[in-house]
Amino acid sequence: MKRLILLTTLILLSYITSAAVLSEFSFADQGYNDYYIKDVNVFECNKYDFTFHQDLNALAFPILSVKAEFLPEQKNGAKIIVFLNDDNAVAEIKADEFYNGFARILVPREKIRADNQLRICGKTSFSTSQIKVSNESTFGVYKTSYFPKETGLRLELETYRPQVDVPFKIDAVARNYGSEDQAIKLSWRKDELEEALPWIQVLKGETSKTGTVEKCQKRDENTECVIPGEFRIGFTAVATKETPMTLLPAFMEFENVFGESVGLLSNRPTFESIPMKNELSVQVKLESDTTKAGNNNPIEVEVKNYGKREIKNILLNLRTGLEIIGNDSETFAISPGQEAHFSFIVKGIAPGKYFVGCDMIFEETSIQCQEAELLVEKNDLSTDLIAGTGFLLIALGVFVYFYFKK
């Protein structure tokens, strides 16, 4: 039986992506001819044996490139099925999934042995009565980028129960588990799908970006990737209707190790938009969550109007066990879609854990903001000591003045 001997010598080739070819052979190089399946609606296979004596780790990616022709028409009913060393299919590729005549199949490392039997099977259909498996098909080991099907491109939502007309954050994240950096273009959806989901409106942020996803950033003792390289776009969107809905997938374009243009779709998150609870939101922000006793501490309160009308005569009260320096309340109005920011000063006299909150009252509605925690630590120089030292210096100054005036 003819045997395919996998070349283990490093082949110094460079593709457009600059990924390294560690080893590669074609079926023709080893004396195999083209293989034909001829007849309507039949299933036939051909065997290819090869030996493999190269160490494989997670930095190297074995890829089988099957080149095939489907005649007279390339229809979905025809397909190629690939087996390696057992009866569990490594891949099943429909006729219309071949790109420029090739199907690229990432072979699981654990299936490769020293002595291997590869079976390439073809199924014809009524419209595709002939399949040619070319001897230009190849098997190789490469250093390349790698975006797994489940985790390589994800749409991630800040919340899966957004309120209607209340903005929330969406991130599209590409994660590269491979051994080479990868240039990509990342978009939150394909252009032709732009208007397909009318109840989601993008307000601001990046919806498309070109850049580089770095290779895996950290690997374990078995060289498996534990921290992939990341590239993301983030944008703020709003649901305009109260209903369950499914987002369209994000879309990523890049050039693979063979110089082919590849498109990858993300997951499609499902979420349910719910009625808006309040037109206004209010949040307390601390400059720091720790301070020293006796120090003044700036506090900011941020109010947002998510509604569609102006709201007037809003009373904002700061609520805390700390000493408030200056005003402790504000009365204001806010237009739709706007933000308002208010500054306060608080002081902790004694060490301890304190909470800073607020109440906002308008039109017989009361909203409490989520409290922020402020830890007041003992001052290295106590307030009494600082005050005493100050009085002492003043007294000394008065004494010196009158002493020399005589």
Same domain, 288 and 323: yes
Phi, psi values for residue 391, rounded to 5°: -60, -40
Let me know if residue 391 belongs to a domain: no
CATH of the domain at 86: 2.60.120.260
Q: How far apart are CA 254 and CA 391, in angstroms?
A: 73
Of 272, 305, 322, at which residue does a domain stop? 272
Let me know if residue 384 belongs to a domain: no
Q: CA dist 401 to 198, 310, 390, 393, Å?
A: 81, 63, 17, 12
Same domain, 314 and 233: no
Q: How far apart are CA 406 and CA 404, in angstroms?
A: 5
Total domains in the chain come to 3
Same domain, 267 and 285: no
Which token pair is 14? 């460079």
Cβ neighbours of 392 (radius 10 Å): 10
Let me know if residue 258 belongs to a domain: yes
pLDDT tens digits in sequence order for the chain, 406 residues long:
444 333 322 222 223 343 588 999 999 988 899 999 999 999 999 999 988 888 888 899 999 999 999 999 887 789 999 999 999 999 999 999 999 999 999 999 999 999 999 999 999 999 999 999 999 999 999 999 999 999 999 999 999 999 887 889 999 999 999 999 999 999 988 766 555 567 888 888 898 999 999 999 999 999 999 999 999 999 988 888 888 999 999 999 999 999 999 999 999 999 999 887 778 888 898 888 889 999 999 999 999 888 888 999 999 999 999 999 999 999 999 998 899 999 999 999 999 999 999 999 998 888 888 788 899 998 875 555 555 666 666 766 666 556 665 5
Q: Which domain holds residue 231?
A: 153-272
Let me know if residue 133 belongs to a domain: yes
Same domain, 238 and 288: no
* Angle, alpha carbons 15-17-18 (nearest 5°): 65
Q: How far apart are CA 139 and CA 65, in angstroms?
A: 6
Same domain, 97 and 173: no
Check: pTM over 0.85? Answer yes or no: no
CATH of the domain at 298: 2.60.40.10
Same domain, 264 and 299: no
Same domain, 25 and 102: yes
Same domain, 234 and 161: yes
Closest CA to 332 of 305, 306, 353, 299: 305
Let me know if residue 406 belongs to a domain: no
Same domain, 205 and 316: no
Same domain, 305 and 332: yes
Let me know if residue 35 belongs to a domain: yes
* Angle, alpha carbons 283-285-286 (nearest 5°): 155
E strands, 199-351, where? 200-205, 208-213, 218-219, 225-227, 229-239, 244-246, 251-255, 261-265, 270-272, 280-286, 290-292, 296-305, 311-320, 323-325, 329-334, 339-347
Same domain, 317 and 356: yes
Question: DSSP string covering 8-65, please?
Answer: -SPP--B-TT--BEEEEEETGGGTPPPEEEESSS-EEEEEEEEE------TT-EEEEE
Same domain, 117 and 174: no
Of 142, 176, 192, at which residue does a domain stop? 142
Q: How far apart are CA 238 and CA 197, in angstroms?
A: 12
Let me know if residue 295 belongs to a domain: yes
Of 272, 298, 319, at which residue does a domain stop? 272
